[in-house]
Amino acid sequence: MATVSKGQAMVERLEAFILRYVAVPGGREGGVGLVLAIWCLHTWLSERYTTTPYLVITAATKQAGKTLCMEVLGLLCRNPRQLATVRALAVVRMIEAFEGRVTFFFDEAEKLASSKAGDERSIMTSGYRVGGKQAITVGKSFTEFKTYASKCFALIGDLMDVLRDRSVVVILQRAVPVADFNVERAEAEGAAGELVKDVVGFFKELPALRSPEFLSGRDREIWTVLWSIAGALELDAATTKRLTRCVVDLTAAKSAPAKRFNRSAESEADAMTRTYSERALADLRKVVGAGEPGVWTSVAVERMKGLDDGPWRTFGGVGLSETSLAGLVGVHGVRPERIRMVVGKGARAAEQKRGYSRKVLGLA
């Protein structure tokens, strides 16, 4: 029987605690609970890194457990502050008082899109990186405040793109959790307190930075801290695989069009398309076997979805399809060939299917 590391045992307890009260997509196997547990861990170390990935808890409907999720996570994070109303001066004063060692939970974060929330948006935009500052009016003069601190947002629909880009986004759906948090609140608070003691005593040294090489750009930046902490936990192969799949699934799901707020610029969408089109071509090459003369588009799609470190299971919010694959690799001049297949001996009709040949891919 394989020995479980102390770090893995600890994060599994955190994950089990979260999943007892929060119903996440995919359940335990989906890995979302594991990601949430590691995010909670990072709040105890955030001031020792140069970035802190934000967390967004969203859903398409009410009563999906967003507020509940924040309450549960708050029990596991450092110096949690649950705020229903965001006031710029109050937030920066708390950051100042706690010297950045605080975790904010902002409910109903749709309010940040308001034209009146300029200072609040600026705090959030700059506050994911050490050195972020915002000048705020105090009395008759401006005072510059530090804005760096861990932050979680809950809302229906999508957060403004500038914040979404800096966040790990988890989409909840209506479901029944294992246990009722309100009924077990006292017990849950006690259990969380014991878990926190283990967390505080675990990290004697700062985990070395390890970047998730399967991500790029801003995605790699925001996941580096969490990936580094995961490395320090010494997770086994199965748990690492579960985490990897979840990371790429959550990242790729952000490629879906915003559900409420428009993207900040067309250039950003174009950049995202280029990034995924290059990845699609590379992964398409990967799934075409050396001895295969070609592969049906439908088969290529299923194989690409099966890549543990591929973003295709949730790409575009619905997963890779034959149409979206054709669009992505078409950017590079790769086109599926029309192959006519006669159905049955002497059949009058023929079935047309799309296939990618090795010759087209330049692999022959």
Distance CA 227, CA 233 (A): 10
The values of phi and psi at residue 113, to 5°, are -80, -10
Question: How far is CA 297 from its chain centroid?
Answer: 28
Q: How many residues does the chain have?
A: 364
Residue 259: what pLDDT? 59
For the chain, what is the mean pLDDT? 86
Distance in angstroms (rounded) separating the CA atoms of residues 153 and 84: 10
Angstrom distance (rounded) from CA 74 to CA 150: 12
- The mean per-residue pLDDT over the stretch 138-149 comes to 87
Q: What is the pLDDT of residue 132?
A: 92
**What whole-number distance in Å separates Cα of residue 307 and Cα of residue 201?**
36
Model pLDDT for residues 218-241, shown as the tens digit of each residue: 899 999 999 999 999 999 999 999
Instruction: Kindly state the average pLDDT of the residues 334-363.
Output: 59
Confidence (pLDDT) at 60: 80
End-to-end CA distance of the chain: 46
Q: Provide the pLDDT for residue 263.
A: 38
104 touches 127 (CB < 8 A) = no
Residue 316 burial class via C-beta count within 10 angstroms: exposed 0-12, middle 13-18, buried 19 and up: middle
Confidence class for position 174, pLDDT limits 50, 70, 90: confident
Q: Where are the domains of the chain?
A: 6-253, 266-361
pLDDT digits (tens, 9 = 90+) for 271-324: 567 778 888 988 998 898 877 877 888 999 999 999 999 999 999 889 999 999
Q: Could you report the per-residue pLDDT of 339-353, keeping only the tens digit for each?
A: 665 555 554 444 455
| Residue-wise pLDDT tens digits, 67-93 | 999 999 999 999 999 988 778 888 999
Most confident listed range (112-121, 141-150, 187-196, 323-332): 187-196
What is the rounded distance in angstroms from the CA atom of residue 232 to the CA atom of residue 332? 39
Tell me the CATH number for domain 6-253: 3.40.50
* pLDDT value of residue 344: 55
The set of residues, in sequence order, having a beta carbon less than 8 Å from that of 246 and lying 6+ positions away, is: 26, 30, 31, 32, 34, 35
- For 32-80, how does the pLDDT look when each residue is reduced to its tens digit (9 = 90+)? 999 999 999 999 999 889 999 999 999 887 888 999 999 999 999 999 9
